[in-house]
Amino acid sequence: MTDKKTCDSCSDASCSSKTQLPGEKLDQFIERQQLMRRLCEIKHKIMVLSGKGGVGKSTVAVNLAVTLAREGKTVGLLDVDIHGPSIPRLLNLEDSRVEGTGEALLPVPFDGNLKVMSIGFLLQGRDAAVIWRGPMKYGVIKQFLKDVEWGKLDYLIVDSPPGTGDEPLSVCQLIQDPAGAVIVTTPQELALLDVRKSITFCRQLNVPVLGVIENMSGFVCPKCGELTNIFDSGGAERMAKEMNVPFLGRIPIDPALVLACDAGTPFAAFHAETETAKAFRRAIRPILDRERGADPARDSAETVVLETRREEDKNMTRIAIPVAQGRLSAHFGHCEEFALIDADLDAKIIRGKEMVAAPEHQPGLLPKWLAERGANVIIAGGMGMRAQSLFTEQNIAVVVGAPAEEPDAIAQKYVAGTLTTGTNICDH
Ligand code: ADP
């Protein structure tokens, strides 16, 4: 038996699984306890919803799960999209067999910290769910949530059925205390209308909306990786503002994403340096920040650091270095992240460093973005003349032709006055 934890030995006296509810039959009570026992081992349950099918909900669910797993979190990916369970196809797991322990189903291990379970593993044929009546669907979803033995997880990403009907309703009701929902849409006005319904649906059920993702927003050229807006994009961001929910970013239409899905190689893991994978990393940032926000000890430690920093600010120079794979990125406009290194140039010492995920690529954005983050100097491999003058307008000094070394080494040499630079390799 894999299930060692029991509600009887749990010390949480306020948990509703301790007592039978008025009117609840004994078998219903036992079933509810089993469900709560499974789910209470999971710290954050996040539902991925969409107003309608085909907007990329499952693709986003897979890549959010993979991105969280790559951040070192233990993650479960649960596909309860009863009419179109596509996770087995997206991860090339269609031939996987689910192991059981008698009373529990074991999720399929995938890519390090990630485990996967899909209702698709259990359906006899692709059309099996179509013939089920409403109560049967509810029963299947409940049994499925109750019987999967995840063990301890940081995150469970639940790929829910689309729309705002009975099936997503069952999922929201059965998942106790969800951390919230991520809602996926496409930029088209019709899809946005459906998202408004999804947000209202979450509000009615008291499920916090963690944010909206605009998928298939712009096109990534398979040759050069450049992002082009072919349709109007930005509608989801405006709508999120109007409805007062966070906007988690745009995911472009990326042919490589489809190929990766077909090959069962989750995009965010195998193409980590692309704009699309970066968009997924940006999307999870506010979700991880919420988790961090729940840690007051860490927050107060950071306040002390900030206050000390304010005192030292007067002599501080903030050096920005574009980084990809741990080293200075030659193409600063397409880097993964920036090292922001604080140095006292008079004392020739480095006082601190933070790594910040790069913003979505938009021409002309970076100088302002880095100025807002207090940068005074940017050290780059290559940079075009236009970009150099935009940095200068923001009072950021530009150093080009720096070697592709680790940012700490570059900053130390810069501070010591020993950084040697070569040719500006940028040709545009
Ligand atoms: P849903 O779960 O909303 O029904 P899926 O995730 O199954 O949608 O995606 C539908 C189709 O669109 C799939 O073939 C998937 O590969 C493709 N797709 C989803 N997002 C993107 C994207 N950003 N770029 C390219 N293709 C995508």
Q: Phi and psi (nearest 5°) for 264?
A: 70, 25
Helices (H), 346-384: 366-372
pLDDT at 314 over 60: no
Q: Which atom of ligand 1 is nearest to the CA of 184?
A: 3
pLDDT in tens, 266-288: 777 777 778 888 889 889 988 88
Between CA 376 and CA 294 the distance in angstroms is 33
Q: Is the CB of 212 under 6 A from ligand 1?
A: no
Q: Phi and psi (nearest 5°) for 236?
A: -65, -35
Residue bearing the CA closest to ligand 1, atom 19: 56
pLDDT at 352 over 90: no
Structure tokens at 96: 């996987």
What is the torsion angle, in degrees rounded to the nearest 10, for the CA atoms of residue 35, residue 40, residue 45 and residue 49?
20
What contacts 122, CB < 8 A, 6 or more positions away?
98, 144
Expressed in angstroms and rounded, the spacing between residue 107 Cα and the centre of ligand 1 is 23
Q: How confident is the model at residue 301 (pLDDT cuts 50, 70, 90)?
A: very low
Identify the structural domains of the chain with CATH numbers, from first to last.
16-310 (3.40.50.300), 314-416 (3.30.420.130)
Structure tokens at 421: 């630079």
Strands 227-228 and 209-220: antiparallel
Q: Is the CB of 59 under 6 A from ligand 1?
A: yes
Residue bearing the CA closest to ligand 1, atom 20: 56
pLDDT at 65 over 90: yes
Q: Which of 30-39, 48-57, 132-141, 342-351 has the lowest mean pLDDT?
A: 132-141
Q: Is the CB of 253 under 6 A from ligand 1?
A: yes
Q: Is the CB of 58 under 6 A from ligand 1?
A: yes
Q: Which atom of ligand 1 is nearest to the CA of 254?
A: 24
User: Which pLDDT value is given to residue 302?
Assistant: 41
What H or E segment, with its residue span, contains residue 389?
helix 385-393
Between CA 164 and CA 200 the distance in angstroms is 9
Expressed in angstroms and rounded, the spacing between residue 55 Cα and the centre of ligand 1 is 6
pLDDT at 428 over 50: no
pLDDT in tens, 229-268: 766 667 888 888 888 899 999 998 888 888 887 777 777 7
Residue bearing the CA closest to ligand 1, atom 18: 56
Between CA 209 and CA 178 the distance in angstroms is 10
Residue 217 three-state SS: strand
Q: Is the CB of 17 under 6 A from ligand 1?
A: no
The preferred substitution site among 59, 86, 261 for testing ligand 1, maximizing ligand atoms within 8 Å of CB, is: 59
User: Which pLDDT value is given to residue 8?
Assistant: 63
Bridge partners, residue 143, by sequence: none
